[in-house]
Structure 1
Amino acid sequence: MKTLWLGAASAAALICASAPALAANAPDLSQAPRMGPWGFDAAGRDMSVAPSKDFFDYANGGYLTRLEIPADRSRYGAFDALNELSQNRMRAVVEKASANTAATGDEAKVGAFYRSFMDEAAVDALGAKPMAADLAAIAAIKSRDEMAGLMGATMRKFGGSFFGSYVHDDAKDPEKYTVYLLQGGLGLPDRDYYLDDKFKTQKTAYEAYVAKLLTLAGWEKPAENAAAIVALETEIAKVSWTRAERRDDDRTYNPFEVAKLQAYAPGFAWKRFLDGANLSKAERVIVSENTAFPKIAAIYAGASLDTLKAWSAFNLADQAAPYLAKDFNQANYEFRNKTLSGQPVQQPRWKRGVTGVDSNLGEALGKVYVAAYFPAENKAKMEALVGDIRTAMGARIEKLDWMGPATKAKALEKLSKFRVKIAYPDKWRDYSGLSIKDGDLYGNIQRASAFEWDYRAARLGGPVDDDEWGMTPPTINAYYQPTKNEIVFPAAILQPPFFDPQGDPAINYGGIGGVIGHEITHGFDDQGRKSDGDGKLTDWWTAEDAAKFDAQAKKFGKQYAAVEVLPGANINGDLTMGENIADLGGLLLALDAYHISLKGQPAPVIDGLTGDQRVFLGWAQVWRGKYRDDRMRQQLVSDPHSPPKYRVQVPVKNIDAFYEAFGVKPGDGMYVAPADRVRIW
């Protein structure tokens, strides 16, 4: 799945007896604020900076100068402000459900889940007891083969595994579900945290965190086992693929018959693993990082059983910590949020509570959210915008001078088959089989996780549900799904600064239009281009056209790789390639679509700004924000998206219309010579 913003919200756990009620005279926190009278925050600019010198600072510098990252955040900006709005709205929904003890159906489940999370006193009183049976099951393991079965089972609930798994559309047979297997075993955000001296402090803190949780869980020899666990994971990191390597859709599609997997990667009991994960009927799997699998299996086989048990106990405690007593919860926050991301203060319990409801009962919550907060007319306006962007993409494909007619025909066919989903699903999930109980937070999380896992496992080998959504309506995000060849826009993103129904069309085209264009372009980025109009991973390009595309993509990657965001920390142009191409294409399409919408009439001038200038400003406004340094370093090694500033700066330098709009000349900070500008879509 290609997203507009990956990892926008940190994982949360839920707490206190009750969140404080909003005062009667408090501001209405459920209403989306407008960005000035015509959709743009003109006061957020820094007029002392010329747009030709630094466009991002010109567009957002005033706002950023005044912005202080809230203490319970590791970053803050346009996405985060909307996320807070969404959280406030979800809070109103879940608190109403929580107060209605006579509720039935989905409302009763939402209310009971939230109550179980907010009853902090009851959670604290239980200490580590909720984990007791699971810890005992780990301690009772007698062999590595038995441990492999337990690792499969823990994927349904809490716990870790040396190998991950999920059921998803088969990339080469997208009408059927299949099992994917991928490398796992690491507790830090990326392999670089184990291998790069820049993260030595974080690695040391991680070992202390492992020891802390093992101590709290009552596991024997916590310090000794923590050292063994980190040493074990370091060995796994050494043989793991990089994130950039894992982006390659061709390299990561490696089908294996389950019967032959044991011989390929001996040392790990694959059938026991799949049986434990309720995937017994799988006869064929897709192995992602195929060359890493035998090496990780060998590490597993060579590890002592005691270390594997301690590793499993830690992973159980780590994943469960946000839903356990305060000492577990605090330790988890101190390391995961404060040490790794620089977040000074933990989020209030109610915020973590509504996030938990959204994560585990997302469509039950989303159905009420949409009814309360999403105007039906916004869906029709979005459909019109999507239509203009699609028209613009078709025109751009037809005019490409580097692409031959055979590839163009296939590209246009793919574009014609794009499926579009806006705001919310046409059919909602049925949660009737999920049991949610008051006073059982740990159990509620486990049952919700197993319910979701088993729902997907049961579909293995069956027809794909084309109506399914991969995000809930209150999510501030969007995505492109290659196997379905679809673009999806949840309800919560369809508001300022992305989309203002009363705002200037140019700002809307630069905002939500750029987002729409971004997702459409994902279907034609360096990986999305490998799937055809039916979602099948197949090569539909001529060799000559593919070589021309790759040359421009590499040229684009070098522009990003040259950017030093923090001392000694540059953007990874290979890891961020797909998102960067989507940003460039999205902005180009937004500009073209705005021109289409004018129907030959001149664009109005507003506050001295031309239509094209406002499109660029609409895009820049979406990406305004700040990061704490630790969070930024984490993003640079683990996130396929470039930092927000460079999602503006680098693409616009490659768009000729930007130079015309703002009078950029040779010698200006934003200038790139025409011959060096990247031309893809």
Structure 2
Amino acid sequence: MKKQYLLSALTLALISSQGQAAEGAAAKNAAKNTKGGQTLTSGIATQYIEPSVRPQDDFYDYLNGKWMKTVEIPADKSSWGSFMELRENTLPQLRGIIEKVAAGKPAAATDAQRIGDFYASFMDEARLEQLGVTPLKGELDKIAALKDKSELPALLARLGKIGVGVPFDFGIHQDNKDSTKYVADIGQGGLGMPDRDYYLKADDAKLAAAKAKYLTHVQKMLTLAGDKNAAANAKAIVDFETEIARVQWTKVELRDPIKAYNKVDLADMNKVAPGFDWNAWLQAAGIAGKTSYVIVGQPTYLKGFVEVSNKTPLDTWKAYLSLHLIESYGSFLSKAFVDERFDFYGTTLSGVKEIEPRWKRGVGAVERSQGEALGKLYTEQYFPAERKARMEALVKNLLAAYKQSIDTLDWMSPATKKEAQAKLAKFTPKIGYPNKWKDYSALVVKRDDLVGNVMRSRIVEADRELNKLGKPIDREEWGMTPQTINAYYNPEMNEIVFPAAILQPPFFDANADDAVNYGGIGAVIGHEISHGFDDQGAQYDGDGNLRDWWTASDHKNFKAKTEMLVAQYNAFEPIPGYHVNGELTLGENIADNSGLAIAYKAYKISLKGKPAPVIDGLTGEQRLYMGWAQVWRTKMREAQQIVQVKTDPHSPGQFRANGTLKNQPGFYDAFKVKQGDKMYLAPKDRVIIW
């Protein structure tokens, strides 16, 4: 009791910005801190506050300092924080559901049977030890039987369908310039490491070391599969992938939707990248006959790939495809394969010390094969209706705040404001779970055939996607399962989606006052809405079409703001020598800054002119910004941090918190941040978009 009291006192002493007015208002507002007769908490994890740090100097460390000092990253994780903790809490719930349906002896060909038997096949380690690499023999034999490169197109199509990483593949989505149609989009791929830099940055000691270890890993995987020339083949594979990496687009280049939209008639594919039988690939992939054109994401890559392919020996191709098949299914083979994959992808690339318990990996495997079937059972048990209703109110206020904010923007012209309002009016929020669930009846699951189960599930999903071509757009479809700890904006659908599982503390706390929820899930909602107006999303109109609806002056004004944001984030350095890539992370940084700004305005709307209650000596505004900063508390292993900086469009957690707060005028008022404080940016240097 005494310790808790002292912590509250230290909080009061450090947050000097409360002032006498806030203290005097505490008693007056205490009685108002209720909702439906329920007394609401602040929702702030004050036990993690580090009293030796001033909030005006490092807000992230101030709010999360004790957490950063005391919490250890679990041995089976590459990082730890709010997202991972929620996932960890959700896994036992999913396990309980799976084991319950499995124990109930469900009827054949039902979701319950498929879920239970899939999990059982994953957990039967003894059988997997007996089988070794045998379950892949059929596919390995097809690769070994290649007699000529003319047979490659059909084989690449087959391997892509069963989830093997090949140098190019396709996905089905809405046509970016005609959102009423589905289209196949061909894009680059085929690397065994996270990014082209791992192959090409020879002057980076850490990346060069990873490449050397990758060569060793490839040799070990081939040896396990019985390759007698594993050493030579491993070198040939890594050399081949290096050449592929050399012609690939960078992560920054991949962010440009205009450059990535290259509409090509099927008959003209051979002109885009001559020297490869595209007609054979299109036929084998199932695209021919279902559409008259495709979108080529990176035409220069395809041309470069064909050139690399044509000078690559057939034996190298065979070794490469065999490796990628084994890598794709290695997690479902015997322990030797599982351990070797983990040693490289888990330990070397991400710094993870121990592999996850098998039951957790089993739950993940079920999710990847039958995610919505499991999600339906999850939401029935763990997502109360009142949580969805409260979220709907939050979304309504966020959209209202955006509507008001558009009209006050000083950098957007009246003509563009009109278009922006039209787009906002067409936003579709999806909360919790789909109205229509996926049908898994085509999936055959056997208790004694794990690799077969995985392969069949991938084929079912590939067929599901392919069969969209030529059919009306399904606007009920979700891109995430309800049990996913995440959210997203889809510019082609102009929709914002919030799965059930993220609607838990610290993102959404049903027992807390609204302020912390606006700082948490409210800012997440604002983040996703703002993706419709970031440097990528703003290129799509309200119907999901790639169309320029901005004036030239709007582009100029917006670019000036985003260039400032790029410079701010380029300066952040999570690991010595590894800076945040301000261009790669620009869209997410815009969304963070815009989302929190709008959450602040929406919170004000929610108060309806009444003063916010003071809880635990904290004003509503303070709790909102604290809610934001506690969401991003994260610890990450160095190897994984490098992967993130190289590949992830999101900035590291501490910079998502502090970098965003430095640009928020309300934050300066709430915590009395002044010139000379480390969190201070001069007004001219603050990037205020919304």
Report the TM range for the smaller structure's normalisation.
Answer: over 0.9
Q: Residue 14 of structure 1 corresponds to which residue in structure 2? A: none
Q: How far apart are residue 86 of structure 1 and its match?
A: 1.4
1:153/1:273 contact within 8 Å kept = no
Q: How far apart are residue 297 of structure 1 and its match?
A: 1.2
Q: How far apart are residue 264 of structure 1 and its match?
A: 1.8
Q: Distance in 2 between matches of 1:460 and 1:529?
A: 26
Aligned match of 1:121 in 112, 126, 129? 126
TM-score by length of structure 1 reads 0.94
Q: How far apart are residue 268 of structure 1 and its match?
A: 2.1
The 5 Å alignment of 1:232-251 reads 232-251=240-259
Q: Residue 101 of structure 1 corresponds to which residue in structure 2? A: 105
Q: Distance in 2 between matches of 1:605 and 1:184?
A: 53
Aligned match of 2:137 in 113, 132, 141? 132
Q: Residue 17 of structure 2 corresponds to which residue in structure 1? A: none
Residue identity matched to 1:386:
V
Q: Residue 5 of structure 1 corresponds to which residue in structure 2? A: none
Q: Residue 65 of structure 1 corresponds to which residue in structure 2? A: 69
1:37/1:503 contact within 8 Å kept = yes
Matched, 1:306 2:315: yes
Deviations 1:128-157 (A, max 9, x none): 100111100000011212112111111111
Identity %: 49
2:42/2:623 contact within 8 Å kept = no
Deviations 1:496-538 (A, max 9, x none): 1111112011001100101100000000010000000111110
Matched, 1:210 2:218: yes
Aligned match of 2:195 in 177, 190, 204? 190
Q: Distance in 2 between matches of 1:461 and 1:256?
A: 17
Q: Residue 33 of structure 1 corresponds to which residue in structure 2? A: none
The 5 Å alignment of 1:194-593 reads 194-197=199-202, 198=204, 199-281=207-289, 282-593=291-602
> Kindly tell me: are residues 414 and 102 of structure 1, through their superposed partners in 2, closer, same or farther at Cα, counting changes over 3 Å?
closer
SS of the residue corresponding to residue 552 of structure 1 reads helix
Aligned match of 2:152 in 144, 147, 154? 147
SS of the residue corresponding to residue 135 of structure 2 reads helix
Aligned match of 1:177 in 145, 169, 182? 182
Q: How far apart are residue 85 of structure 1 and its match?
A: 1.3
2:272/2:299 contact within 8 Å kept = no
Aligned match of 2:682 in 667, 673, 677? 673
Matched, 1:81 2:85: yes
2:506/2:520 contact within 8 Å kept = yes
SS of the residue corresponding to residue 475 of structure 2 reads coil
SS of the residue corresponding to residue 565 of structure 1 reads coil
Residue identity matched to 1:140:
A
Residue identity matched to 2:352:
Q
Residue identity matched to 1:68:
E
Q: Runs of 5+ in structure 2 lacking a partner?
A: 1-39
1:181/1:287 contact within 8 Å kept = yes
| Higher deviation after alignment, 190-199 or 463-472 | 190-199
Q: How far apart are residue 442 of structure 1 and its match?
A: 0.2
SS of the residue corresponding to residue 183 of structure 2 reads strand
Deviations 1:7-58 (A, max 9, x none): xxxxxxxxxxxxxxxxxxxxxxxxxxxxx94311111111211111001001
SS of the residue corresponding to residue 320 of structure 1 reads helix
Q: Distance in 2 between matches of 1:389 and 1:250?
A: 29
Deviations 1:312-363 (A, max 9, x none): 0000001110000011111111111111000000000000000111111011
Deviations 1:284-311 (A, max 9, x none): 1101112222111110111111100100
2:266/2:288 contact within 8 Å kept = no
Deviations 1:396-415 (A, max 9, x none): 11100111100000001100
Residue identity matched to 1:177:
Y
Q: Distance in 2 between matches of 1:246 and 1:145?
A: 30
Q: Residue 6 of structure 1 corresponds to which residue in structure 2? A: none
Q: Runs of 5+ in structure 1 lacking a partner?
A: 1-35
Q: Distance in 2 between matches of 1:336 and 1:271?
A: 36
Deviations 1:231-261 (A, max 9, x none): 1111111111100110111111111112111
Q: Distance in 2 between matches of 1:247 and 1:263?
A: 25
**Number of aligned residues:** 646
Q: Distance in 2 between matches of 1:402 and 1:112?
A: 58
Q: How far apart are residue 158 of structure 1 and its match?
A: 4.1
| Higher deviation after alignment, 430-439 or 263-272 | 263-272
Q: How far apart are residue 421 of structure 1 and its match?
A: 0.4
Q: Distance in 1 between matches of 2:273 and 2:418?
A: 42
Matched, 1:649 2:643: no
Q: How far apart are residue 680 of structure 1 and its match?
A: 1.4
Q: How far apart are residue 164 of structure 1 and its match?
A: 1.9
Residue identity matched to 2:644:
Q
Residue identity matched to 1:81:
E
Q: How far apart are residue 277 of structure 1 and its match?
A: 2.0
Q: Distance in 2 between matches of 1:402 and 1:574?
A: 21
Q: How far apart are residue 679 of structure 1 and its match?
A: 1.9
Q: Distance in 1 between matches of 2:403 and 2:98?
A: 44
Q: How far apart are residue 100 of structure 1 and its match?
A: 2.6
SS of the residue corresponding to residue 43 of structure 2 reads coil
| Higher deviation after alignment, 153-162 or 69-78 | 153-162
Q: Distance in 2 between matches of 1:274 and 1:365?
A: 34
Q: Distance in 2 between matches of 1:315 and 1:508?
A: 44
Q: Distance in 1 between matches of 2:401 and 2:41?
A: 28
Q: Residue 17 of structure 1 corresponds to which residue in structure 2? A: none
Residue identity matched to 2:526:
G
Deviations 1:566-621 (A, max 9, x none): 01000000110100000001100111111111111111212221111110000111
> Kindly tell me: are residues 98 and 283 of structure 1, through their superposed partners in 2, closer, same or farther at Cα, counting changes over 3 Å?
same
1:212/1:331 contact within 8 Å kept = yes
> How large is the RMSD of aligned CA atoms in angstroms?
1.1
Residue identity matched to 1:541:
W
Q: Residue 112 of structure 1 corresponds to which residue in structure 2? A: 117
Q: Residue 667 of structure 2 corresponds to which residue in structure 1? A: 658
Q: Distance in 2 between matches of 1:512 and 1:236?
A: 41
Q: Residue 44 of structure 1 corresponds to which residue in structure 2? A: 48
Flag as ranges the 4+ runs of structure 1 deviating above 3 A: none
SS of the residue corresponding to residue 539 of structure 1 reads coil
Q: Residue 27 of structure 1 corresponds to which residue in structure 2? A: none
SS of the residue corresponding to residue 294 of structure 2 reads strand
Q: Residue 59 of structure 2 corresponds to which residue in structure 1? A: 55
SS of the residue corresponding to residue 544 of structure 1 reads helix
